[in-house]
Structure 1
Amino acid sequence: MLITLINGELNIQYIDRYIFILLILMIPFNSLADAGSCDIFEVIDCDKNVVSPKEKKGKWILGVGLAHAHGVPDYIGSDESRNLTLPLPYILYNGPKMKISSSGINRKLFHHDKLFVSLSLSGAIPVDSDKNQARKGMDDIDAVFEYGPSFKYFLQGNNKADSALFIDLNFREARTLKLDSLNFSSSPSVVFRKKLQQDYFMGQVSMSSTFKFEFVSDKYAQAFYGVDEAFETATRESYKAEGGYAGIRFNSSLRWQRDNQIVSLFFAYSDISAAKYVSSPLVKVTSHTLFGGSYFWLFD
Structure 2
Amino acid sequence: MNDAHHLRAWLALTSALAAALAALPVRAESDQGGPRRPLWELGVGAAAVQLPDYVGADVSHHYRLPLPFFVYRGQWLRADREGARAVLIDTPDWALNLSAHASAPVRNHDNPARLGMADLPATLELGPKLSASVWKAADGSARLDASLPLRAVIGLKRGAPVLGTVLTPTLNLDLPRWSSGWNLGLQVGPKWGSQRLHGHFYGVSAVDATASRPTYTARSGYAGWQAVAAVSQRFDRTWVGAFVRHERLEGAAFADSPLVRQRQAVSAGVAVVWVLARSDEEARSDD
Q: Specify the TM-score bucket, using the shorter chain as the normaliser.
A: 0.7 to 0.9
2:272 corresponds to: 295
The partner residue of 1:262 within 214, 227, 239 is: 239
Measured on the aligned residues, the alpha-carbon RMSD in Å equals 2.8
Letter in 1 for 2:25: N
1:195 corresponds to: 176
The partner residue of 1:66 within 21, 46, 51 is: 46
The question of whether the paired residues in 2 share the 8 Å contact of 1:172 and 1:184 is answered with: yes
The partner residue of 1:242 within 206, 219, 224 is: 219
Matched, 1:18 2:3: no
The question of whether the paired residues in 1 share the 8 Å contact of 2:153 and 2:164 is answered with: yes
Secondary structure in 1 matching 2:93: strand
2:135 corresponds to: 156
Unaligned stretches of 5+ residues in structure 1: 1-11, 26-37
Matched, 1:93 2:72: yes
Greater relative CO (CA pairs within 8 A, separation 6+)? 2
Q: What are the residue-to-residue correspondences of 1:108-147 with 2, within 5 Å? A: 109=89, 112-147=91-126
Letter in 2 for 1:75: Y
Higher deviation after alignment, 119-128 or 144-153: 119-128
Deviation per residue, 1:241-273 (Å, 9 max, x gap): 112110111111111222212222221101112
User: TM-score by structure 1 length?
Assistant: 0.78
Deviation per residue, 1:126-171 (Å, 9 max, x gap): 212222101111122122222111111011349xx77421111121
Unaligned stretches of 5+ residues in structure 2: 278-287
Secondary structure in 2 matching 1:171: strand
Letter in 2 for 1:264: G
The question of whether the paired residues in 2 share the 8 Å contact of 1:150 and 1:168 is answered with: yes
The verdict on how the C-alpha distance between 1:41 and 1:227 changes in structure 2, with shifts beyond 3 A counting, is: farther
1:225 corresponds to: 202
2:281 corresponds to: none
Letter in 1 for 2:100: L
The question of whether the paired residues in 1 share the 8 Å contact of 2:88 and 2:98 is answered with: no
2:280 corresponds to: none
Distance in structure 2 (CA, Å) of the matches to 1:84 and 1:275: 28
Task: Kindly state the Cα deviation for residue 21 of structure 1 after the two structures are TM-superposed.
Answer: 1.4
Task: Kindly state the Cα deviation for residue 92 of structure 1 after the two structures are TM-superposed.
Answer: 2.2
Distance in structure 2 (CA, Å) of the matches to 1:237 and 1:42: 34
Matched, 1:174 2:153: yes
2:60 corresponds to: 81
